[in-house]
Amino acid sequence: MTIPLLSEHAISILRRNDHGGYTVPTHGLYPYQWNWDSAFVALGFAEFDRDRAWVELETLVSGQWDDGMIPQIIFHQDDPGYFPGPAVWATGRTPPTSGITQPPVLASIVRHLWQAEGADPAHPRMRALVAACLKSHRWFHTYRDPLANGLVMVTHNWETGRDNSSEWDEALDRVDTSRVGSYQRRDTAHVDAAMRPTAREYDRYVAILQFGRACGWDHREIADHGPFRMIDVGMSMELLRANRDLLVMVQAIGDSATADELKARIALSEHGVDWLWNEDAGAYCSRDLGTGQSSGLVTNASFLAFYAGVGNAAQHARLIAALGRLTHSARFLLPSLEAGSRAYDHQRYWRGPIWLVVSYMVALGLAETGHQAWADRIRSDSAGLIELSGFYESFSPETGAGSGGPDFSWTAAMWLAWCGKVASP
């Protein structure tokens, strides 16, 4: 397909996945509104329907909890084709939502939309979303910064968006599944089970959910005593970046007290990320709060350091060396796990496959920090994957074949807003 035809196809995917105010990631496998999916989807809509882009974000924050959390899933309409649905989460919210969050990329997307429209400080839609983002970031600072170092603790692997990354394996091994009971997965009815987490892993995911439900989704209790507590390198970098983007908007609005609050958070996180640097791996890695252990794994999230604006020259050189190494084992960049790492699997979800939204953030960061050739390489590989296989959920770094769901909203959005464009980061 030619570039204009692919762009038309991408627009038709977003139109077809639009359920009126929110966009499902793909039909069947994910029939609801997902948090970070919607944020990236707004970038795609912004290329041809600006109003619809803002609506996507406004619908997302309509599910925000009183304590500030923006949930991972909003169940606008029940759908028996998904597990775990609203009755399993039982959060008692209207609209029904899950009880956990997802990567805080919203503020960064809001800044992008607002600047593309001329960066008017009085922009009412920007201002309303900034208020929602601030509330959400304060929730992270209150409930998810147990070490008071500006990093993000996750209490469910689903929060990271990188659901079955090998980074979580050891912490998940300690989760007690003896009371999980029986349940029926739905995901493997939609896509090949070889592309999804295993049954053993799913039992752990469900056990962690059940802990939250048993304590009535008390976020303090979950943060202090939950069965899964990891410092996630991905969300720590994403929140740092989101705080920087939020600061720009807050300064434009002229709210100096909030600007000072954000500057202090940013400074804290800039120092805090040192704790995630693993000298042996030459990369930033997640750490298990229970044991203090670093995963030691080079994942696509490791390279979000560029996007977050952290790392010294020596650390950047190690990360760039890791990118170079990846080109030997992967035909396409950027794999979610380095080949040869434990549990690497080129088609199993976050254990190898390429996810274009992470590639986009990494490429943006590389371009901003003077590594334009690497940004270009990631962008052209990403476009090549879509040209080769279509708009899949993810792609094999070895063959370029699609994995997971087809006609995927955020992949279509990344084509329109980034890799399908003639000139971009």
- Under the binding rule (CB under 6 A), the answer on residue 35 touching ligand DGY is no
* Residue of 182, 229, 224, 223 whose CA lies nearest to 206: 182
Note whether 74 and 60 are within 8 A (CB): yes
N- to C-terminal Cα distance for the chain? 23
CB of 139 to ligand DGY, least distance (A): 18
Alpha-carbon distance of 242 to 235, in angstroms, equals 10
CB of 163 to ligand DGY, least distance (A): 5
The residue among 72 and 269 lying less far from ligand DGY, judged by its C-beta, is 72
Kindly determine how many residues on this chain lie close enough to bind ligand DGY according to the rule CB under 6 A. 4
Interaction pattern, residues 171-190, with ligand DGY; x per rule: CB under 6 A? ----------------x---
Q: Which of 163, 170, 203, 221 does the annotation list as catalytic?
A: 163
CB of 423 to ligand DGY, least distance (A): 33
- Under the binding rule (CB under 6 A), the answer on residue 72 touching ligand DGY is yes
The residue among 101 and 341 lying less far from ligand DGY, judged by its C-beta, is 101
Note whether 19 and 399 are within 8 A (CB): no
201 φψ region: left (φ > 0), alpha (ψ -120 to 50), beta (else): alpha
- Under the binding rule (CB under 6 A), the answer on residue 376 touching ligand DGY is no
Q: Would you tell me how many other CB atoms lie within 10 Å of the CB of residue 247?
A: 20
- Under the binding rule (CB under 6 A), the answer on residue 158 touching ligand DGY is yes
Residues 6+ apart with CB under 8 A from 155: 100, 144, 208, 212, 222, 223, 226, 228, 229
Active site includes 393?
yes
The residue among 158 and 284 lying less far from ligand DGY, judged by its C-beta, is 158
CB of 187 to ligand DGY, least distance (A): 6
How many degrees, rounded to 5, is the angle at CA 332 between CA 347 and CA 381? 125
CB of 177 to ligand DGY, least distance (A): 18
The residue among 76 and 371 lying less far from ligand DGY, judged by its C-beta, is 76
* Residue of 198, 199, 196, 195 whose CA lies nearest to 183: 199
Interaction pattern, residues 282-321, with ligand DGY; x per rule: CB under 6 A? ----------------------------------------
- Under the binding rule (CB under 6 A), the answer on residue 36 touching ligand DGY is no
The residue among 32 and 114 lying less far from ligand DGY, judged by its C-beta, is 32
The residue among 111 and 196 lying less far from ligand DGY, judged by its C-beta, is 196
CB of 153 to ligand DGY, least distance (A): 18
Interaction pattern, residues 185-224, with ligand DGY; x per rule: CB under 6 A? --x-------------------------------------
Residue nearest to ligand DGY (CB): 158
- Under the binding rule (CB under 6 A), the answer on residue 17 touching ligand DGY is no
The residue among 195 and 319 lying less far from ligand DGY, judged by its C-beta, is 195
Q: Which two tokens stand for residue 4?
A: 């204009």
CB of 119 to ligand DGY, least distance (A): 33
CB of 138 to ligand DGY, least distance (A): 23
- Under the binding rule (CB under 6 A), the answer on residue 163 touching ligand DGY is yes
The residue among 67 and 163 lying less far from ligand DGY, judged by its C-beta, is 163
Q: Which of 201, 245, 261, 393 does the annotation list as catalytic?
A: 393
Active site includes 345?
no
Residues that bind ligand DGY (CB under 6 A): 72, 158, 163, 187
Q: Which residues are catalytic?
A: 163, 393
